[in-house]
Structure 1
Amino acid sequence: MDNIFTQLESILEQRKSVGADNSYVSSLYKKGTDEILKKIGEESAEVIMAVKDDVESKIIYEVADLWFHTLVLLRHKDIEVAKIEQELSRRFGLSGLTEKANRNK
């Protein structure tokens, strides 16, 4: 069985062909990248506020919203979840300091 990110990716791709009046995601796609980025910014702020409130259920809820809208952005840009997984796998076991130093080369 596919993981939840792969399942969501498939559904989000399907929303590209649905009318904006019938789908929240489709309406975001129609509004474009700037609107999707605005939602990601809002959700990021809500994660910060939830962490400051130190309520685990709020943190989980808001992180789920942030991840969802990030997945919307990836589909909008035709970037597959697998590519993000590959990048994370590449970094696995690599010191964050080493990875950051390698970026600057």
Structure 2
Amino acid sequence: MSALDRLAATVLSRRGADPDTSWTAKLLSKGPEKCAEKFGEEAVEAIIEAVKGDRQRLTSEAADVLFHLLVMLAARDVTLQDVEQELAAREGISGIDEKASRVR
């Protein structure tokens, strides 16, 4: 089991936990919209570090992004496995072709 798998399992285990004792539970208790907002904030911070070029800070911010992505997904009952299945379904398909298939 990878660190990302373990983190995803931990996030799921914190649904319904006491928000006073768990940061993850506190985020989830605020609802999907707040989880999405926090994910967006972390994504912007990662973008800033990518532009600055500080490898260590980018690595740290990317870890925050992954954590908050998992929290946002959990808030909407989407699992890491759901995302992995979607990625697997896209394997071998040109990114250009895949994107064109989603345009409505």
Q: TM-score, normalised by structure 1?
A: 0.91
Moved more, 56-65 or 12-21: 12-21
Please tell me the root mean square deviation across aligned C-alpha atoms, in Å: 1.3
- Structure 2 unaligned runs (5+)? none
1:1-105 to structure 2, matched below 5 A, reads: 2-104=1-103
* Amino acid in the other structure paired with 1:42: E
**Distance in 2, Cα, partners of 1:45 & 1:11:** 24
TM-score in terms of structure 2 length: 0.92
- Alignment size in residue pairs: 104
Q: Deviation per CA, 1:62-94: give whole Å up to 9, x if none.
A: 111011100011112111211111111111221
Equivalent-residue separation in structure 2 for 1:13 and 1:97 (angstroms): 33
Identity of aligned residues (%): 33
Structure 1 unaligned blocks of 5 or more: none
Q: For structure 1, which segment, 2-11 or 41-50, has the greater mean C-alpha deviation from structure 2 after superposition?
A: 2-11
Between 1:60-69 and 1:6-15, the stretch displaced more is 6-15
Cα distance in 2, alignment partners of residues 73 and 34 from structure 1: 8
Query: Runs of 4 or more off by more than 3 Å in structure 1?
Result: none
